[in-house]
Chains A and B, each alone.
Chain A
Amino acid sequence: MIVKDVYLRDVTSVSLNSNIKSVIKLFNLTRYYALPITNVDNEYIGCIDISDIIDSCVPKYMKDLSSSAFLPDVDMFYNRLNNVKDMLVKDLIKDDYPTLREEDSVSYAADLLEKFNRRTLPVLDGKKLLGILTRLEIISVLIKKESI
């Protein structure tokens, strides 16, 4: 089975100059965990993942503590999220986001999702965005096969 058989033909995307608050709204609307970023010519540039936003709100030192459970709750996360909300997508974009082509195998896609610890991957034809593949689409094939 290949990616072409399972991916979502949804090309909802954001631009580099979209602010994080509007991106969070779009995440809520679509319920996806990552959204592709495109330019004015609809060419794929990268992806913004919910985990990248959360990551930018967690200070580095916290990741180096053996446990941060001892810290009192002073709403540190929301204070930081408040600071991040007006930032632009281009401030948080990561250039190593993995991508798929229609002819890639589903096994390869599953492996890529796991290796990069992502929930959503964009499907491309060259620079053209064709849609996205999520973890749910991959495992839902089983149900779709049974219903046929």
Chain B
Amino acid sequence: MFFAASIFLISYALIMSEKVPHTIAAMVGGILMVIFGVLDQDKAIHYIDFDTIGLLCGMMIIVLVLKKTGLFQYLAIKSVKLSKGNPTWILVSLAVFTAVMSALLDNVTTVLIVAPITLAIADTLSISPIPFLVSEILFSNIGGTATLIGDPPNILIGNSSHLSFMSFITHNLPILLVIGVLTLIFLRFYYRKQLTIPVDKEKLIEGFDESKSIKNYKHLIICLIVVLLTFTGFILHSRFDLKLATIALFGGFTLLMITKTHPEEILKDIEWGTVFFFVGLFVLAGGLEATGLIEIVAKKMVLATNSIKTMSFAVLWGSAIASSIVDNIPFTATMIHVINSIDKMGIYNVQPLWWSLSLGACLGGNATIVGAAANVIVSSYAKANNQNIGFLNYMKVAVPVTIVAISLSMGYILLVDL
């Protein structure tokens, strides 16, 4: 138990300190669990959640193929043109675009698509891109919370809790719509002075030609049909007793086959660092569970909180605070074992705990610029383009938004789940 706890804590400290790339810290920690005999190799492999890995890889392939069609750029420009050059509506359209894309794809891919477009629009219209970039960070995390595939914590929770794809949408979407509308009203008020366009530039938005983004319409239509079928599969997966990983991988490789794309061309761009990070985390958390430490923590939590209501709120706020400071993926990977352990005790129905973890870990990531991968990517991308969001300036906007979002989630869980 001593070895397992030490390896786990040192690995997590290294992941948080960012002194070592997180993939290396997680993988070395996971392998040390085997070397020191905490787990044998078979058990270590048993702890790797291949549903999550398969879903991640399948979605990455789909996104990589789709990205090449220019569709995302087309949709982003189309939605911005609906604003008719009004900066408030540009903010709204980019935020909605980011939220929808984040719900359907992963947050990092979404912000990597939307951030360059935002900078191009701001540069052309001679306005500051900061309000738009900040709103995109916030809405990538809000949108990602809405679906099982939208944010890594949800992927982990979905695969461990056996909650269906649709249950994430039906449970999380109503409260996220409320949070989204309030966030937009707050952003409009907060950035009111920056949301103005020089009169002579307003008409320029009409000059954006989204049709030039699409390179091959036939290719695009084929891709869209496959993607539509994949998402239909996601919605119906529980009815056909199919895992999401099976559907995502089938969709991804069918796309490669139909578009006659050489697999090497796409597979080399899969974020292998992220995939191995998950593998390492699964083994690390598995090692801790195998020694019985997770069970001890779960029992202590049950004793300390006394009721499912208190425990849900503790999980919600605890995961929100933890996610705002450190990476929410390792935190969620560990908490999943704790919740499963509480479930095994048979005292409570743990469903409210899953939703608390989902809302807390995903929305908590909004609070600081280091809270989620999308935040870090947008802020460093802005810096590379001579725009500084600033750690404290970001927090001035994001902390109130996050506190309101978590408070509303608390009321929502109380109302719906408890």
Which residue numbers of A lie inside 8 Å of B, CB to CB? 59-62, 64-74, 76
Contact = CB atoms under 8 A, between A and B. Distances in A.
Given A60-B384, A61-B119, A71 B124 contact: yes
Contact of A66 (B73, B123, B207, B211): B73
Interface residues of B, number: 25
A65 B208 contact: no
A59 B67 CA distance: 21
Contacts of A74: 124, 204
B73 A70 contact: yes
Interface in B46-94: 67-68, 70, 72-73, 77
A66 B63 CA distance: 13
Given A62-B116, A67-B212, A70-B77, 18 more contacts: A61-B115, A61-B119, A62-B120, A64-B112, A64-B116, A65-B117, A65-B120, A66-B73, A67-B70, A68-B120, A70-B73, A70-B211, A71-B120, A71-B124, A72-B209, A73-B207, A74-B124, A76-B124
B43 interface: no
B349 interface: no
Question: A-B pairs with the 7 shortest C-beta distances?
Answer: A72-B207, A61-B119, A69-B212, A61-B116, A64-B116, A70-B212, A66-B70
Contact of B213 (A59, A60, A66, A72): A66
B219 to A, nearest CB: 13
Contacts of A76: 123-124
B299 interface: no
11 contacts: A61-B115, A61-B123, A62-B120, A64-B112, A64-B116, A66-B67, A68-B120, A70-B209, A70-B211, A70-B213, A72-B208
B385 interface: yes
A62 B67 CA distance: 16
